[in-house]
C-alpha cells in the first residue's frame, strides 16, 4: 500500500472540497484536480491511496508531507487522558493539559483538529463516490463498486470519530457547491444508522481474502469489525454479535499462539511479538491483524518523523536519571507525556496509597503474559557504562520517578528506537488498527448487552487463554470486567475515551479511578465541545454548542 504516498496524499488534499489546504503547487493542483484524476481505474487508485493517507494522518503531528496535521504533539493521547488509564506526568505537554484537567473549550487545538481531520476524510470520500457514479472508464466491471466500498468505509470511519467526540454532527453525503453556511446537527442515532449502512456496504463489497491484498489494504473483515463496534454503540447487540462472529467464522484469522516474526528466537513471548517492528502484517506470520496502518522506516510511502508519537507520550524519561543512557532497547527517547495509572498497572517498590482493588500486579494475575516484563516493563537496569558505580544494577521505580515521568511500568508496545538515531521522534512501526482479540471482546460486549453472561465469559476466555490468564466464570463476566480486560489486552491501542463513551461508563470509571479529576468530571465531559470556528462560520443557521460548554 506504499506506492508514492506523497502523490496520493496531495491528490486527496486537492480532491477534498472542505478543509482543503492552499500550500500545494498550482501545477500539482491542475494535474491532480478531480476532473483529471477520476477518469480511470488508476486515477481512483490514486484517490483511494489518498484516503488511506488521510486516515492514518490521525497520528500525524507536525506535517512532514503528511496528509493532515494536528499541529500539536499529543493529539491521539487526548483520547486516552481524562479517562481511567493514564495520568499526565513528566513533560506535561501544554496541548494535552486542557484535556487532562477538563478545561478544554471550543477553541482548544485538538477539539478543532479532530473535527477537521474527520470531515477532511469524509469530504474526500464523498468526492470519490461522486466521480465514481459518473465514470465509465474502468479496467474491470467490478471496479466501480470496489472504490465505492473503499470510500464508504472511510466515510463511516470518519463519522465514527465524530459521533464519539461530539455527538450530533452534520451528516454530509455529497460535496456542496457552493459551500454551505447552513449545516444543522444530525442526531447521533441517525448518524449511527448511516455509519452502519456504509460499513455494511463495505463488508459486502471489499475483498474477502486478506492474503490477496497488499499489506495495509482493507478487506471486508475490517468493515465487519467496526460494524460490531457500531452495533454495540447502537445497542443492537444481536447484530453486533453476528458481525463479530462473522470474522471469527471466516477462518482467515486466528489469535497468535506461537512465537513468530523478527525476534521469534529471542527472549520474549507471543503477545509481545505482535508489537516488534515488522511483525504487524500477515506477511510476518501475524494471523491476528485485521487492518494495519503502514508506517515503515525508510520506505517510500512509509512513516515520517511527525507520524505516531505514541512512544514519546507513553515511554518514560529514563535517560534523565544518572546511570542511564538513551538506548533503542529501552524504547528510544520517551517524553512521559502520559503514564499508566497505578490502580491497573500495579506498583512495586513504592509507597503508593492503596485504592480499591489495588495490588502490586494491578489488574493482572501473576502468569498473565500481558503483565510480563516483555510487555509491561517493570524491571529497569542502569545501562550507562560511563557510570560504573551503577552499571548493570537495578533501578527501582518509586513514587517520585513515577510522578516526574522518569521511570514507571512502561508499555513496550510503543518501544521504538534506532541505534543510528536515538533521538528520533516518529515511531516507524506499522500500527494494528483492529485485530482479532478485540473482535472477541466486541463479541463479549454484545453478549453482556444481551445479558448472556456465559457466552460473554466464553468470548473473553478465548483472549485470556492466549495470555495464560485463568478463565472467568459467567458471574465474573461483567461490563466492568470487560473494560478491565480491554486494558490488559488493548491499552494504548484502543481509543479509551471511545470505549467508555460507547459503554456508558465514562463518568463512573473516571470518578472511581482518576484521582486528579474525580470530583470535577460531569456527564457533559463525555463529549467535547463543537469547535468555535464551526459555529461562527455556519452563519445562516444557528449551530448549537454541546451542553456544558460556552460559545
Q: State mean pLDDT over 450-469.
A: 98
Calpha distance 287→280 (Å, rounded): 9
The predicted model scores a pTM of 0.93
Cell of 277: 517492528
- The whole-angstrom distance between residue 178's C-alpha and the CA centroid of its chain comes to 34
**Looking at residue 63, what is its pLDDT?**
79
Q: Measuring CA to CA, which residue among 72, 83, 68, 74 is closest to residue 119? A: 68
Q: State mean pLDDT over 323-334.
A: 94
Q: Measuring CA to CA, which residue among 433, 399, 356 is closest to residue 84? A: 356
**Looking at residue 154, what is its pLDDT?**
98
Mean of the per-residue pLDDT values for the chain?
Answer: 90
End-to-end CA distance of the chain: 42
- The sign of the torsion formed by the CA atoms of 472, 475, 481, 482 equals positive
Q: Cβ of 84: how many Cβ atoms within 10 Å?
A: 23
Contact 343, 79 (CB under 8 A): no
**Looking at residue 179, what is its pLDDT?**
63
Residue carrying the nine cell digits 471489499: 206
Count of helix runs (H) and strand runs (E) in the chain: 20, 8
Q: State mean pLDDT over 430-448.
A: 98
Q: Could you write out the DSSP letters of every residue in 117-133? A: HHHHHHHHHHHHHHHHH
Maximal C-alpha separation, the chain: 74
Q: Which long-range contacts (CB under 8 A, 24 or more apart) does 356-364 make?
A: 356/512, 363/484, 363/487, 363/488, 364/469, 364/488
Cell of 465: 487463554
User: Predicted confidence band at 33 (pLDDT cuts at 50, 70, 90)?
Assistant: confident
pLDDT per residue as tens digits for the range 231-281: 999 999 999 999 999 999 999 999 999 999 989 999 999 999 999 999 999
Structural domains of the chain, ranges and CATH numbers in brackets: 5-308+531-537 (1.25.40.390), 310-424 (no CATH)
Q: Cβ of 290: how many Cβ atoms within 10 Å?
A: 24
Calpha distance 169→462 (Å, rounded): 37
Run of H or E including 434? strand 431-435
Residue carrying the nine cell digits 465524530: 162
Q: State mean pLDDT over 207-212.
A: 98
Q: Which residues does 31 contact at the CB level (< 8 Å), separation at least 6?
A: none
Q: Which residues does 27 contact at the CB level (< 8 Å), separation at least 6?
A: none
**Looking at residue 22, what is its pLDDT?**
32
Q: State mean pLDDT over 338-355.
A: 73
**Looking at residue 144, what is its pLDDT?**
97
Of the ranges 87-101, 153-167, 241-255, 459-473, which one carries the lowest mean pLDDT score? Answer: 87-101
pLDDT per residue as tens digits for the range 418-437: 888 888 888 899 999 999 99
Cell of 193: 444508522
**Looking at residue 53, what is its pLDDT?**
92
Of the ranges 267-271, 351-355, 384-388, 468-472, which one carries the lowest mean pLDDT score? Answer: 351-355
161 burial (CB, 10 Å; 0-12 / 13-18 / 19+) is buried
Q: State mean pLDDT over 28-40.
A: 75
Q: State mean pLDDT over 365-370.
A: 94
Percent of the chain residues past pLDDT 70, beyond the cut: 90
**Looking at residue 539, what is its pLDDT?**
84
Amino acid at each position: 500500500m506504499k506506492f508514492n504516498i506523497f502523490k496520493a496524499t496531495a491528490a486527496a488534499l486537492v480532491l477534498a472540497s472542505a478543509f482543503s489546504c492552499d500550500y500545494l503547487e498550482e501545477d500539482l493542483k491542475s494535474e491532480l484536480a478531480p476532473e483529471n484524476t477520476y477518469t480511470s481505474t488508476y486515477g481512483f487508485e490514486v484517490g483511494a491511496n489518498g484516503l488511506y493517507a488521510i486516515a492514518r494522518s490521525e497520528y500525524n503531528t507536525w506535517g512532514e508531507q503528511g496528509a493532515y496535521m494536528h499541529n500539536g504533539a499529543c493529539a491521539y493521547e487526548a483520547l486516552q487522558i481524562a479517562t481511567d488509564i493514564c495520568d499526565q506526568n513528566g513533560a506535561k505537554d501544554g496541548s494535552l493539559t486542557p484535556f487532562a484537567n477538563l478545561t478544554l473549550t471550543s477553541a482548544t487545538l485538538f477539539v478543532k483538529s479532530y473535527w477537521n481531520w474527520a470531515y477532511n476524510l469524509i469530504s474526500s470520500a464523498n468526492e470519490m463516490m461522486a466521480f465514481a457514479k459518473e465514470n465509465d472508464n474502468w479496467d474491470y466491471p467490478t471496479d466501480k463498486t470496489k472504490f465505492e466500498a473503499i470510500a464508504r468505509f472511510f466515510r463511516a470511519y470518519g463519522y465514527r470519530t465524530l459521533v464519539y467526540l461530539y455527538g450530533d454532527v452534520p451528516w454530509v453525503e455529497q460535496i456542496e457547491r457552493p459551500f454551505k453556511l447552513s449545516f444543522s446537527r444530525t442526531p447521533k442515532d441517525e448518524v449511527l444508522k448511516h455509519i452502519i449502512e456504509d460499513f455494511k456496504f463495505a463488508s459486502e463489497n471489499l475483498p474477502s481474502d486478506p492474503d490477496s491484498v497488499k499489506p495495509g489494504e482493507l478487506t471486508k473483515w475490517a468493515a465487519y469489525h467496526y460494524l460490531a463496534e457500531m452495533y454495540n454503540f447502537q445497542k443492537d447487540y444481536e447484530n453486533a454479535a453476528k458481525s463479530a462472529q462473522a470474522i471469527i467464522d471466516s477462518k482467515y484469522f486466528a489469535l497468535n499462539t506461537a512465537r513468530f516474526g523478527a525476534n521469534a528466537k529471542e527472549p520474549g513471548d507471543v503477545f509481545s511479538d505482535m508489537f516488534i517492528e515488522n511483525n504487524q502484517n500477515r506477511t510476518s506470520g501475524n494471523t491476528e491483524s485485521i487492518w494495519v496502518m503502514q508506517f515503515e522506516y525508510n520506505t517510500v510511502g512509509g512513516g515520517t518523523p511527525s507520524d505516531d508519537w505514541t512512544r514519546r507520550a507513553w515511554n518514560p524519561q529514563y535517560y534523565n536519571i544518572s546511570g542511564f543512557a538513551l538506548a533503542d532497547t529501552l524504547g528510544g527517547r520517551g517524553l512521559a507525556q502520559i503514564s499508566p495509572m497505578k490502580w491497573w498497572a500495579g506498583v512495586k517498590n513504592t509507597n503508593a496509597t492503596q485504592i480499591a482493588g489495588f495490588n502490586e500486579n494491578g489488574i493482572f494475575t501473576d502468569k498473565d503474559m500481558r503483565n510480563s516484563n516483555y510487555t509491561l516493563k517493570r524491571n529497569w537496569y542502569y545501562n550507562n557504562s560511563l557510570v560504573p558505580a551503577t552499571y548493570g544494577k537495578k533501578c527501582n521505580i518509586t513514587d517520585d520517578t513515577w510522578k516526574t515521568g522518569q521511570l514507571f511500568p512502561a508499555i513496550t508496545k510503543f518501544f521504538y528506537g534506532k541505534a543510528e538515531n536515538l533521538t528520533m521522534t516518529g515511531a516507524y512501526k506499522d500500527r494494528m488498527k483492529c485485530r482479532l482479540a478485540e473482535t472477541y471482546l466486541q463479541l463479549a460486549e454484545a453478549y453482556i448487552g444481551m445479558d448472556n453472561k456465559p457466552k460473554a465469559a466464553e468470548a473473553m476466555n478465548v483472549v485470556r487463554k492466549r495470555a495464560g490468564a485463568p478463565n472467568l466464570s459467567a458471574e465474573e463476566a461483567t461490563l466492568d470486567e470487560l473494560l478491565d480486560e480491554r486494558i490488559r489486552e488493548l491499552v494504548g491501542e484502543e481509543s479509551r475515551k471511545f470505549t467508555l463513551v460507547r459503554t456508558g461508563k465514562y463518568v463512573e470509571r473516571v470518578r472511581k479511578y482518576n484521582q486528579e479529576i474525580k470530583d470535577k468530571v460531569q456527564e457533559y465531559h463525555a463529549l467535547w465541545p463543537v469547535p468555535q470556528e464551526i459555529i461562527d462560520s455556519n452563519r445562516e443557521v444557528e449551530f448549537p454548542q454541546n451542553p456544558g460548554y460556552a460559545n
